[in-house]
Structure 1
């Protein structure tokens, strides 16, 4: 006979599904949440629902935002001619903290990975091509992570944009291969931006 899953076990299981949350952390979080005042739990729940319901995907850069177009795409002080291509919204946050980039962004929402069944159609490459076709783009800076899939995605972007009169560069990495952009400090990201190289 199957034992019915209790509310604590159910909460632990759901927390355990979140990326980067192992079973021990999920258990710790579950018991922390249970120990909170009910008003605090409701406030946390409301914040999660509000973020889900009120977040949109910017129709220009594909980043998550609370308006469309997003604040960065709407900023007239930023350089429209340079686009930094990143894997995820978290990478935009990392780049912004570094204060090293004053252009616009394009978020792929993943990378091309044949081994994981991720094709160019599964990431926002078509939308990037459409932006290049539409506008006054002079440079694309590919800032995908220094992984096999990140490099493959950078090469794919270079190939699909090769017939356009634009510079395509790859962010310079004095960074560990296999790392994620979101975890680098501001100085490292700034140095990487300054040392970007043209993709040939």
Structure 2
């Protein structure tokens, strides 16, 4: 992109847009040109939406998902009080499970995973709050839905050891071959998980 052809103000917008995930300099340039051609109302509404997100969005004090209220919509919903608590690493993981429509209980967002090499230990995650919720909310089952990475597995193992003597059912989400996947292209870890998580069919 010929940067000198753009006025400095437009260059600055493109530079900032290109720092967003998934946006390269060309895509950022196209978005900047779209905003330049957009009506004042449309452009200012977008800027105002970004400002409101930064001012109003915070973590839910119960589950640590994002919210703009006292607690998030999932924690507010009485139909979600199923006695099940799904533990995830991040809000992005929560949203992925929600999009599947396969789970209708409540969540607990750890806000990360154990990573000793990076200096992330149990005290850096929302584990203490998890223990308090299990008791306070009468949780009957804890579903550990951390990612199948080394950090996610370490976190799952730590939580299972921590909770094994508590009066709750513990479960770990299964991992395996994706629908439409091909065994010969599946990585070793996924195949191992698929085999160890096999179930009887007769």
Q: TM-score of the superposition, structure 2-length normalised?
A: 0.75
CA gap of 1:30–1:155, structure 2 versus 1, over 3 A, is: farther
**Could you say which residue in structure 1 is the equivalent of 2:57?**
55
Q: Count residues with an aligned counterpart.
A: 177
**Could you say which residue in structure 2 is the equivalent of 1:182?**
none
CA gap of 1:28–1:160, structure 2 versus 1, over 3 A, is: farther
CA distance, structure 1, for counterparts of residue 30 and residue 119 of structure 2: 34
Give structure 2 stretches of 5+ with no counterpart: 1-6, 179-193
**Could you say which residue in structure 2 is the equivalent of 1:97?**
99
CA distance, structure 1, for counterparts of residue 111 and residue 177 of structure 2: 22
Give structure 1 stretches of 5+ with no counterpart: 177-191
CA deviation after TM superposition for structure 1 residue 196, in Å? 10
**Could you say which residue in structure 2 is the equivalent of 1:150?**
152
CA deviation after TM superposition for structure 1 residue 175, in Å? 4.8
**Could you say which residue in structure 2 is the equivalent of 1:167?**
169
Measured against aligned partners, the alpha-carbon deviations of 1:69-109 in whole angstroms (never above 9, x if no partner) come to: 22211211223411011122222222222221121111122
RMSD, matched Cα? 2.7
Determine which structure has more spread, i.e. the larger CA radius of gyration: 2
Measured against aligned partners, the alpha-carbon deviations of 1:24-75 in whole angstroms (never above 9, x if no partner) come to: 4333333332332222110101111112222232111111112222221121
**Among residues 13, 17, 22, which one is paired with 1:15 in the alignment?**
17
